[in-house]
C-alpha cells in the first residue's frame, strides 16, 4: 500500500513544536501508513509539493513570521492545489480566522490529541465546505507522547513542563497552554534519555517556561527534591561524557527561583555556562503592570548568586513596553548599568503586541533617542545582543494586520 505523504515545513525556530507533533503519532495505528517529508527551506518544500499528487502539509505559524508564511502558502497552493493544509502554532491559536482562506484545518492550542484525526480526514479525502477550526477539549498529558519522533531518527529537546501560572501580559504561553502547570514524569524523561544514549547522543536540553519550576505543583515554588531527582537521574544515564544544559535557552529561569539551594543544584549538574534570566524591565512599576510577579531587586539577587557560583548570565529585557515612560527608561538603564558591571550580557527585545495576549491591542511605546543611544553604545561594546530593531519594525506590521 502506498503511504500517505505528510509534508512538514521545518525551519529551525519551529523544530521543537513540530517534533512534539510528529512524536505524538508514533504509537498510533496510522503511523505505518504515513511517509514524512521535512523541508527546512521554502524552495525545498515547494519542490516536494510539485512532485506529489496528494498529501497533508503541516505548518506552525508564529506572529512575527505570519506574512512570510502567508506568502509561502499562496505559492504552495498555486503549485499543488490537491495537497491539504493544516496550520497551528501561536498565531493560529490566537487568530485562526486570519488564515482561514489558506487552510483546510486550523488548530487552536495543543494539537497532539487531534493530529491523528486530521490526518485521517486528509488521508480519506474528506471534503468540507469551510475550513475547520479545531481545538482539543483536553490538556495534553505529556507522558502519553514522545518529545520527538525517534522512530524517524529525530531526537530533540525534552519538553519537561507545559503551562505557566504567571500569565505575563505580553506572552502567549499561558494563552496557548493555560495557567495550569503540567510536568513530564521522571520515568518518561529517563526513558527518552536512554533512547538518546543508545544513539550516543549525550547532550540533553530541555523545553520549559521556567527550568527551576520542574516538579512544582503550582509553578510558583521550587521543588528541590524533584529537581534533584531529575538532574541526578539523567546524569546517571548519560554518564560522565554526557552534558546537561539546564537553565539556558529554551529552558530559561525566572529570577526569583535562583536561591542558594537551587544554584547549588545547577552548579552540580548543569553544563550551561551561561544562565538566561528574564527581567524584561528595570522598572518595578512596569513589572507590576506586566504581571511579572518579581521585582528588580530579585533580578540583582539572582545575578549575584549565579556569578558567585561561576556562571555567566544573560538577562532578557523588552523595550517599548506599553505605558513605558521616561522614568521607566531611566530605571531600566540604571538597572542594566549595574548588571553590566557584574559582567552580564543583555538580550534585547522590542515589545510585540502578540494576538491572544492581554497586550494584544496595546500600543508599543516609542523608544526614546536617549535609550537608543544607550543600547547602541552597549551593543558596540559587545554587551548587548538580540533582534530588537527588527522586532520594532515587525511590531508596526502586527498592529496594522491584527
Q: Is residue 176 situated within a structural domain? A: no
Last-in-domain residue among 77, 102, 135: 135
Per-residue pLDDT of 346-364, as tens digits, reads 999 999 999 999 999 999 9
- Tell me the mean pLDDT in the region 204-231: 98
Q: Helix 224-238 vs helix 186-198: angle between axes, to the nearest 10 degrees? A: 20
Q: For cell 505548518, name the residue.
A: 59
Per-residue cell: 131: 475550513
User: 152 in a domain, yes or no?
Assistant: no
Helix, strand, coil tally for the chain in percent (to 5): 45, 15, 40
- Among 135, 156, 179, identify where a domain stops: 135
By residue range, what is the domain housing residue 357? 273-402
Tell me: the pLDDT tens digits for 85-105? Answer: 999 999 999 999 999 999 999
Instruction: Quote the CA–CA distance of 281 and 287 in Å, as a whole number.
Output: 7
Higher pLDDT, 138 or 64: 64
With respect to residue 195, please indicate whether it lies within any of the assigned structural domains.
no
CA distance 163 to 208: 8
The tally of domains found in the chain comes to 2
Given a contact cutoff of 8 angstroms between Cβ atoms, the answer to whether 148 and 8 are in contact is no
Domain at 65, CATH number: 3.40.50.2300
Question: Does residue 326 fall inside a structural domain?
Answer: yes
**Average pLDDT for residues 301-316, to the nearest whole number?**
97
The predicted pLDDT at position 400 comes to 65
Q: What is the mean pLDDT of the chain?
A: 95
Is 200 contained in some domain?
no
Per-residue pLDDT for 318 more than 80? yes
> 361-390, pLDDT tens digit by residue?
999 999 999 999 999 999 999 999 999 999
| Beta-sheet strand order (sheet of 203-207) | 158-159, 203-207, 243-245
Q: Among residues 79, 109, 135, which one ends one of the domains?
A: 135
pTM for the model stands at: 0.94
User: Is 96 contained in some domain?
Assistant: yes
Peptide bond into 250 cis (omega under 30): yes
Cα three-residue angle 330-331-332, rounded to 5 degrees: 90
Cβ neighbours of residue 297 under 8 Å, at least 6 residues apart?
none
* Other beta carbons less than 10 A from residue 331's beta carbon: 18
Residue 304 falls within a domain, yes or no?
yes
Q: What CATH number is given to the structural domain containing 364?
A: 3.30.750.200
Q: Is residue 104 part of a domain?
A: yes
Extract the C-alpha cell encoding 48. Answer: 516536494
3-state SS class at 89: coil
Amino acid at each position: 500500500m502506498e503511504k500517505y505523504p505528510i509534508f512538514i515545513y521545518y525551519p529551525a525556530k519551529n523544530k521543537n513544536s513540530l517534533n512534539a507533533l510528529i512524536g505524538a503519532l508514533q504509537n498510533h495505528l496510522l503511523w505505518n501508513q504515513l511517509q514524512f517529508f521535512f523541508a527546512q527551506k521554502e524552495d525545498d518544500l515547494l519542490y516536494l509539493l510539485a512532485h506529489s499528487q496528494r498529501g497533508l502539509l503541516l505548518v506552525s505559524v508564529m506572529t512575527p513570521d505570519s506574512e512570510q508564511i502567508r506568502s509561502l502558502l499562496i505559492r504552495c497552493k498555486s503549485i499543488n492545489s490537491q495537497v491539504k493544509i493544516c496550520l497551528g502554532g501561536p498565531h493560529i491559536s490566537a487568530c485562526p480566522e486570519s488564515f482561514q482562506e489558506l487552510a483546510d484545518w486550523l488548530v487552536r492550542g495543543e494539537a497532539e490529541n487531534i493530529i491523528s484525526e486530521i490526518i485521517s480526514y486528509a488521508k480519506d479525502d474528506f471534503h468540507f465546505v469551510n475550513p475547520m477550526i479545531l481545538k482539543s477539549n483536553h490538556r495534553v498529558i505529556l507522558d502519553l507522547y514522545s518529545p520527538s519522533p525517534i522512530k524517524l531518527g529525530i531526537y530533540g529537546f525534552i519538553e519537561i513542563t507545559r503551562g505557566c501560572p504567571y500569565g505575563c501580559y505580553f506572552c502567549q504561553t499561558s494563552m496557548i497552554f493555560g495557567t495550569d502547570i503540567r510536568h513530564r514524569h521522571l520515568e518518561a524523561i529517563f526513558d527518552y534519555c536512554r533512547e538518546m544514549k543508545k544513539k550516543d547522543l549525550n547532550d540533553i536540553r530541555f523545553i520549559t517556561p521556567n527550568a527551576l519550576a520542574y516538579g512544582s505543583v503550582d509553578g510558583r515554588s521550587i521543588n528541590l527534591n524533584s529537581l534533584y531527582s531529575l538532574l541526578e537521574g539523567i546524569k546517571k544515564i548519560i554518564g560522565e561524557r554526557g552534558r546537561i544544559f539546564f537553565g539556558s535557552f529554551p529552558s530559561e529561569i525566572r529570577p526569583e527561583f535562583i536561591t542558594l539551594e537551587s544554584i547549588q543544584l545547577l552548579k552540580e549538574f548543569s553544563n550551561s555556562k551561561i544562565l538566561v534570566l528574564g527581567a524584561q524591565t528595570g522598572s518595578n512599576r512596569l513589572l507590576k503592570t506586566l504581571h511579572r510577579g518579581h521585582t528588580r531587586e530579585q533580578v540583582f539577587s539572582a545575578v549575584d548568586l549565579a556569578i558567585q557560583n561561576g556562571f555567566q548570565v544573560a538577562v532578557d529585557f523588552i523595550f517599548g513596553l506599553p505605558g513605558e515612560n521616561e522614568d521607566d527608561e531611566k530605571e531600566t538603564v540604571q538597572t542594566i548599568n549595574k548588571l553590566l558591571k557584574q559582567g552580564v550580557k543583555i538580550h534585547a527585545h522590542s515589545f510585540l503586541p502578540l494576538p491572544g495576549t492581554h497586550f494584544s491591542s496595546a500600543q508599543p511605546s516609542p523608544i526614546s533617542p536617549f535609550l537608543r543611544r544607550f543600547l547602541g553604545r552597549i551593543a558596540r561594546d559587545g554587551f548587548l545582543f538580540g533582534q530588537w530593531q527588527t522586532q520594532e519594525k515587525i511590531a508596526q506590521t502586527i498592529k496594522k494586520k491584527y
